[in-house]
Structure 1
Amino acid sequence: MKMIVGLGNPGPKYLMTRHNVGFMVIDSLAHRWNCPSDFREDKKALVTKIKTSNEDVLLVKPQTFMNLSGESVQPLMNFYKIELKDLLVVHDEVDLPFGQLRFVINRGHGGQNGVRNIHDRLGSKAYGRLRLGVGSPPHPDFSVADYVLQAYSKSEQSHLPDVLSLACEAIEFFVDNGLEKTANEYNSAKGTINL
C-alpha cells in the first residue's frame, strides 16, 4: 500500500493559500480517482483508501495544522503498516518557482515545518516528498510565513489547475513505478508548467 499525504492547514481560512497546495493535490487525486467525498476521520487526519489498477493507496490530509503533521502521519503509518519507501508527502516549496515540481528522498526539511515534524516523528527522512513550487516572497523583507499563508495571485490561480493536474499525473506514475523512476521522469522539464 502507498500512502500519499498532502500537507496543509484545516479550515476555510486557509483553503486557497499557497501553504495548502498539498491538500489541493489530495482533493484533485480523489476527484480524479472518483472518490471525492469518501474521506473519513482517522488518527487526526481525513483519509480515504482507494484501489488503483496495481495498488491500494491511502490519501491523507492531516488535520493537526501544518506544523504538527507528524502527529497524524506516524500513527497512520504504524496502523496501516506503511513502509518509508511507500510514503509520499506533498507540500509547498518556496525555493522552487510556481509551476515547477521536484521529487526528493532523504533530504532535510529545508525550513518546511510540517516536514520537520514528520522527520521528527518518524525518526527518519528516508521517504519521498513531492515539492510543489509556490515561488518566493516578492522582496526580502516579506515574511515567508505571511507569503505562504496568502492566496495565490490571480495569474497563479489561472494556472493552478494545470499544476494540480501535473502533480496528479506524477503521483500516479509514482504509485505504479516507485520514487526513483518517478524522480528521473519528472525532475526535468516534464515537471514544469509553461506559464
Structure 2
Amino acid sequence: MTKMIVGLGNPGDRYDGTKHNMGFMALDLLAKEYQTDFKMEKTFIAEVAQTFVNGEKVFLVKPQTFMNESGRAVKPLLTYFNIDPEDLSVVFDDMDSPVGRVRLRQKGSSGGHNGIKSILTHVGTEHFNHVKIGIGRPKNGMKVVNHVLTKFDSEDNSEAQDGIFKAVDAIKYYIENNDFTKAMNKFN
C-alpha cells in the first residue's frame, strides 16, 4: 500500500512562513524527520519526496501550482502512482481553529478553503484525510487574503510552531500505525 501526504501552500520566497503555507512547513519538517529531500517534478507541477516506512512507500508532495490550483498537481500524481484517494492526506491551514490547534478528519468539505476546494474538484471525492492546523481568524478588521498571506506575529508564533510539530507527530503516527482513525483519536 502506498500513501501520499500533501502539504498545501504557495510557492516562492514571497510566501515563505506565511499562514497559508502551514502545509508546506509541516511537509518540510516531515521530510527532515524521514531524511528525504524534495525534487521538482515539472510534469506534475509539484515538489515530491519519497521514503519507505515499515516497507510501505510514502510520497510527500508540495504542489507548486499556487493554492487555488492545488488539485491540478494532486490528481495526476494520484493517477500516475495509482493511489486511492483514501490513502491521500492533505495538510493545510484552518482559519476556523485557534492558532496551533490540530484537527484530523477522514473526509470533509472545503470549509471555504480554496486549496481543498480545488482538490475536491479535481479528485472528485471528499473521502481523503484532512490534517488542519489552526491559524485563527483575522484580527482588527484585516481582510482574509491579507491575514493568510502574512506571517504570524510574535504573539502567535510559538503556538503556530507547536501546531506544525503536533501535525507532523499525527501524520507520523498515522503512517507508522497505518490507521488514521487511531491518529484522530490520539491527536484530536
Q: TM-score scaled by structure 1?
A: 0.90
Q: Deviations over 1:17-69 (max 9, x none)?
A: 0000000000000111111x342325010001101124211000000000000
1:157 is the counterpart of 2:165: no
Q: Which residues of structure 1 form unaligned runs of 5+?
A: 188-195
Give 1:72-151 correspondences, 5 Å limit: 72-139=73-140, 141-151=141-151
Secondary structure of 2:96's aligned partner? coil
Give the Cα separation in 2 of the matches to 1:24 and 1:119: 22
Deviation at 1:162, TM superposition (A): 2.6
RMSD over aligned Cα atoms: 1.3
Q: Which moved more, 1:107-116 or 1:41-50?
A: 41-50
Alpha-carbon deviation of 1:16? 0.7
What is the number of residues matched between the two proteins?
185
Identity of aligned residues (%): 38
The equivalent of 2:167 in structure 1 is 167
Distance 2:68 2:110 in 1: 12
* Consecutive unaligned residues in structure 2, runs of 5 or more: none
Give 2:51's aligned amino acid: I
Deviation at 1:122, TM superposition (A): 0.9
- 1:116 is displaced (CA, Å) by 0.2
Distance 1:142 1:126, change over 3 A: same
Q: Deviations over 1:149-192 (max 9, x none)?
A: 111112333344432221111001111232212111111xxxxx
Aligned AA (2:169): E
- Once the two structures are overlaid, the 10-residue window that deviates more, 143-152 or 111-120, is 143-152
Q: Which amino acid aligns with 1:81?
A: N
Q: Distance in 2 between matches of 1:170 and 1:179?
A: 9
Q: Find the counterpart in structure 1 of residue 68 from structure 2.
A: 67
Provide the TM-score with structure 2 as the length reference.
Answer: 0.93
